[in-house]
Structure 1
Amino acid sequence: MERGELAAWLRLAMTPGVGPAGARRLLAAFGLPQQLFAQSARALGTLASPAQVQALQQEPPGWREQVDATWAWLQAADPAAPRRLLTLADGGYPPGLLQTEDPPLLLYLQGPPVTQWPRAIAIVGSRNPTPQGALNARQFARTFAQAGLTVVSGLALGIDGAAHEGALEGAAEGALATIAVVGTGLDRVYPRQHLDLAHRIAQRGLLVSEYPLGTRPLRENFPRRNRIIAALGQGTLVVEAALKSGSLITARLAAEQGREVFAIPGSIHSPQARGCHELLRQGAKLVETAQDVLEELAPQQAAAARSTPQAAPDGDPEGFLLRAMGFDPVGLDALIARTGTGAAQLQAQLLELELAGHVARLPGGLFQRVERG
């Protein structure tokens, strides 16, 4: 990414009052941020409110400093733990996250390069687990990693930390062991007790954040980052959680995204088990062993293995995809079946068509071809 491109993406992300949904609408109409900021107020006003247009035509507070800091952060990368920035228009953007209602415009990453996002399972739970709960998280994560799954969690104390440790213990050499989605900028580690753990994850897994450098551990950031944790996994396992735990937010988001939710039951006398019991009453799948989860995910893994990317027959992937879409709303699964293209490649093509104004993203994970006059 060139510095000018970085500056334009950061400016869009930092513009107050626009938000991910508004930014996507503008990108779909005008192209990439550099083209968007070249538009007149009148053109922007066709898709943005007067307040948004005014904000888009002004430099966001602290924007130039953020460009300098981010550029320096990217250039100073440790070869053992590379740093990079993914934009919403990047073909390497996580396909599961693209399907959510408000995928971040920018994702900050630190860790080994990822050519294809791995099959993963999210593990979340209490920051104050019982000793048995922490042991369960570590053992389940170790088994998942040994089975080839990447473990996603939030780097918090308690269950999160135990899950990351177990994944690092169980993953094969060279495998992406674990992904930590954090609620701060990647130039900070929170909690400080996990500084060493964060360094080890950056060497054998990934640190991920949607927040700009310098972002402090603000309370409101942590529930919001949970949608990313849910989106990166094929399912979410809640090990222990109180009734008001943030882990229940992650589980709800996973269910809304059409992913499996698993819960480990506990003692009826334990406050840390009540959140899991509530999830079980709501339809989460009860699990007693890691194998229970692996068996539930096996059909999804088999389907993913069958959906290997294929080239378009006529050498025109975008035209081929548009013809396969027809003109009625269609879901991703149907497009995979029609085109024989893998989900990750298909998501990248759909995003390119959306940004070019040829495809509209509809509620419920549907897409529709748009005829431009």
Structure 2
Amino acid sequence: MDVSELRQRVEQKSASLPIALPEPQVAAAWRKVEAALTWQRQASHHYLICRDDPLYPPLLQQIADPPSVLFIKGHPEALLRPAIAIVGSRAASHAGLALAFQLAAELDSIGLAVVSGMAAGIDGAAHKGALSHSGSTIAVLGTGVEQIYPKRHRQLYHDIQQYGAVVSEFWPDITAFAGNFPKRNRIISGLALGTLVVEARRRSGSLISARTAMEQGREVFAIPGPVISGDHQGCHDLIKNGAKLVESLADIVEELPPLLQSHLQALPGHVPLQTEHNSQLPFKTLLASVGYETTPLDVVVEQSGITLDLVLEQLLELELQGWVAAVPGGYVRLKRN
């Protein structure tokens, strides 16, 4: 987009207003236009996409309040791929992070892009899971695209641009503001055919994405979990209210339009999220003694009936294989049977 084209659009918009804008407001608007075009010219991977642009995502066009302009760093064509949004708790459990990572990698492996918000927790795990395969993932920011938030995701921010796209409706230099994050959630769900909530408490911000997905007429998916701690209560509430319970990739794909299903890469059968068969489980007795919530070491020893030395040896092997993780206070199980 060049200066004259954007100026023409602004003039057309101004001409349609019932009253003339005061001169200071007009001047401020032109300064923003010039700043946006300057930003676009700064690098070859900077893009300004307006609603009548061929690269504007068609699914996003369909929502009630699509952003008039998208600022994009990376590959804008990534936004044209069919996608699933993955969201969840910022303070996610080890099991939740592992599930988000695995499902994102599986979605990408069959040709679906992964959309999320680059937040800590489930969002970050979902982006990393997609990047672990071919890397088509889209981060919708609640800041401008030049702001890295949270700072710990600096490398992730750059990796997403290399293989997917970082997107925002806010001016590039806009810093983190609490009110902008709920607003951006409509874009996360609006870019996707459906939204999957991996782990969420009842007051989790990720439930806003689920609500906007429902309002937009998109599919909503949720993964159930243990009821004791309340970390999954938001997911349980969604399922009670009609969200699709997800145990495997097939649960998501079977809700997609038939035409899209036929174009996806070949799917395996109805395989659980963790694909190892029971007969191949290592150290079955010990593994059965480790829960999805933190299990103290003495409880593992007592429930398994195995000596402490052997428990420690087997737990180390299970940790190396990705079945369990050591956490403060004991161990948690990461994989289902």
TM-score (norm 2): 0.73
Distance 1:88 1:298 in 2: 25
Structure 1 residue 89: Cα displacement: 2.0
Contact 1:69-1:213 within 8 A present in 2 as well? no
Contact 2:86-2:126 within 8 A present in 1 as well? yes
Alignment correspondent of 1:158: 121
Provide closer, same or farther for how the CA distance between residues 215 and 298 of structure 1 changes in structure 2, counting only shifts above 3 A.
Answer: same
Provide closer, same or farther for how the CA distance between residues 35 and 148 of structure 1 changes in structure 2, counting only shifts above 3 A.
Answer: same
Contact 1:118-1:150 within 8 A present in 2 as well? yes
Structure 1 residue 34: Cα displacement: 2.3
Contact 1:83-1:111 within 8 A present in 2 as well? yes
Alignment correspondent of 2:61: 98
Contact 2:253-2:261 within 8 A present in 1 as well? no
Contact 2:78-2:136 within 8 A present in 1 as well? no
Secondary structure of the 1:272 match is: coil
Alignment correspondent of 1:212: 171
Question: Which letter does structure 1 place at the counterpart of 2:249?
Answer: A
Provide closer, same or farther for how the CA distance between residues 58 and 233 of structure 1 changes in structure 2, counting only shifts above 3 A.
Answer: same
Q: Structure 2: give runs of 5+ residues left out of the alignment.
A: 265-337
Secondary structure of the 2:221 match is: strand
Alignment correspondent of 1:110: 73
Provide closer, same or farther for how the CA distance between residues 264 and 115 of structure 1 changes in structure 2, counting only shifts above 3 A.
Answer: closer
Structure 1 residue 294: Cα displacement: 2.1
Structure 1 residue 115: Cα displacement: 8.0
Residue 70 of structure 1, aligned match among 36, 39, 47: 36
Distance 2:55 2:130 in 1: 23
Residue 295 (1) aligns with residue 258 (2): no
Provide closer, same or farther for how the CA distance between residues 67 and 298 of structure 1 changes in structure 2, counting only shifts above 3 A.
Answer: closer
Provide closer, same or farther for how the CA distance between residues 115 and 209 of structure 1 changes in structure 2, counting only shifts above 3 A.
Answer: closer
Secondary structure of the 1:34 match is: helix
Contact 1:96-1:232 within 8 A present in 2 as well? yes
Larger-Rg structure: 2
TM-score (norm 1): 0.66
Structure 1 residue 170: Cα displacement: 1.7
Structure 1 residue 106: Cα displacement: 0.5
Structure 1 residue 59: Cα displacement: 2.5
Question: Which letter does structure 1 place at the counterpart of 2:210?
Answer: A
Alignment correspondent of 2:283: none
Q: Structure 1: give runs of 5+ residues left out of the alignment.
A: 9-31, 46-52, 306-373
C-alpha root-mean-square deviation of aligned residues, in Å?
2.2
Distance 1:222 1:116 in 2: 20
Alignment correspondent of 1:35: 12
Provide closer, same or farther for how the CA distance between residues 293 and 70 of structure 1 changes in structure 2, counting only shifts above 3 A.
Answer: same
Aligned length: 264
Contact 1:66-1:213 within 8 A present in 2 as well? no
Distance 1:232 1:123 in 2: 12
Contact 2:74-2:162 within 8 A present in 1 as well? yes
Alignment correspondent of 1:132: 95
Secondary structure of the 1:85 match is: strand
Structure 1 residue 93: Cα displacement: 1.1
Alignment correspondent of 2:17: 44
Structure 1 residue 289: Cα displacement: 1.6
Question: Which letter does structure 2 place at the counterpart of 1:108?
Answer: F
Residue 195 of structure 1, aligned match among 136, 139, 154: 154
Distance 1:201 1:122 in 2: 15
Contact 1:5-1:34 within 8 A present in 2 as well? no
Alignment correspondent of 2:143: 184
Provide closer, same or farther for how the CA distance between residues 244 and 118 of structure 1 changes in structure 2, counting only shifts above 3 A.
Answer: same
Alignment correspondent of 2:226: 267
Alignment correspondent of 2:197: 238
Structure 1 stretch displaced more, 200-209 or 104-113? 104-113
Question: Which letter does structure 2 place at the counterpart of 1:128?
Answer: A
Distance 1:35 1:60 in 2: 13
Alignment correspondent of 1:349: none
Percent identity between matched residues is 45
Q: 1:64-91 deviations in whole A, cap 9, x for unaligned?
A: 54334322321121x5xx1110112212
Alignment correspondent of 1:48: none
Residue 167 (1) aligns with residue 130 (2): yes
Distance 1:272 1:7 in 2: 50
Secondary structure of the 1:278 match is: helix
